[in-house]
Amino acid sequence: MEAYLDNAATTKVLPEVKEIMMETLEEHYGNPSSMHSKGVEAEKYIKFAKKEIAKSLKVEEKEIIFVSGGTEANNQALICGAMANKRSGNHIITTKIEHASVYNPLVYLESQGFRVTYVDVDGNGKVNQEQLVEAIGEDTILVSVMHVNNEIGAVEDIAEIGEKIKKKKPGILFHVDAIQSYGKFKIFPKRMHIDLLSVSGHKIHGPKGIGFLYVKDKTKVLPLIYGGGQQKGMRSGTENVPGIAGLGKAVQLAYADFDAHIAHMYELKIFFIDLLNKMEDLTVNGIDGIDIENTAPHVVSVTVDGVRSEVLLHALEDKNIYVSAGSACSSNHPALSGTLQAIGLEKKAVESTIRFSFSRFTTKEELVYTVETLEQLVPVLQKYVRR
């Protein structure tokens, strides 16, 4: 049996997504900027994707910029948003549990003279809103808060945070990293006071190498890439038509039977945690005293006492169970998880934490197999721990 439980890292492309991408590769392969019929046919796929995305967010199509993925979206939102507004101030606020694609652009901005405040979270990963609002000053130009944490599945109260930010200082840009939440939650930027929103296609059964940045109309943001002026100059370069078409189809399908898909994942999460709680030496992170349905439906973070995460990951892999030791984007640069430290885990616990993540295709049979395998492996692996 195989159990793929690393869907927060990437998801399997849907057959319908593959089909529409093949259309653009084999039939409608023109350059969307070309004025002949082949170009017009290619452009139709871009219009289709913009329409589906705009409909899902209840925004205007002109507010969507296609990019290469979540990392580029976050970089453009933060670096280009900060640079465009630096005359108004140099202060940025974020949290201590952000993804590397937010954290590292902010490190770069600090090297360019910007000042960054990192706000605390509680043991479940919830942002300290009082501290965040208190940190806003006259020179604050940008606040960036992720909607769903990729490691523990914490869900931030984005609408509430957005309202508080705008009430204290209306001109602040509010950026939301929605890479783990889009397709899992209904997100409405206008109601939630969001100016900039980052999304990646391969988290919702779309292709890798494509994503989008929502930029609220009249928001001051500079381009990250300059060239031929495509996408109204906001992201030059010939559009990735196969990727955009695949993203549009993935968005359409994600929201077509949305409630059923999400209910299924929450059911799986509750079922899985109930099984895990029967095991000794194992702790589920980010759910202390809160309803499971107030967390992300697809992420479960587990600390296994006495077993290093990489060891357990590879032991599970040998049994055809695929999980993560944290963010896949940080796997090439191993370091202690900032998120797990921020929620109060000791170094030893951080080093013994793995992430399971589901999709609409995950089954209870896969989860039962996983827990049965853990029950066999963990006692054996614990015997080899250096005391």
**Residue 358 identity:** F
Q: What is the DSSP letter of 145?
A: E
Cα Dmax for the chain? 71
Look at residue 244 and give its three-state secondary structure: helix
Look at residue 122 and give its three-state secondary structure: coil
Question: How far is residue 387's CA from residue 384's CA, in Å, rounded to a whole number?
Answer: 9
Contact 279, 378 (CB under 8 A): yes
| Bridge partners, residue 213, by sequence | 65, 198
Give the DSSP H or E segment for 312.
helix 309-317
CB within 8 Å of 9: residues ≥ 6 apart? 324, 327, 328, 357
Tokens of 230: 């495509």
Angle between helices 37-57 and 15-26 (to 10 degrees): 150
CB within 8 Å of 89: residues ≥ 6 apart? 137, 138, 139, 140, 141
Question: Considering just the CA atoms, what is the radius of gyration of the chain in Å?
Answer: 21
Look at residue 371 and give its three-state secondary structure: helix
Strands (E) across 5-154 are located at 64-67, 91-95, 115-119, 140-146
Exactly one of 311, 328, 329, 368 is catalytic; name it: 329
Is 80 among the catalytic positions?
A: no
Question: How far is residue 96's CA from residue 111's CA, in Å, rounded to a whole number?
Answer: 19
> What amino acid positions are annotated as catalytic residues?
329
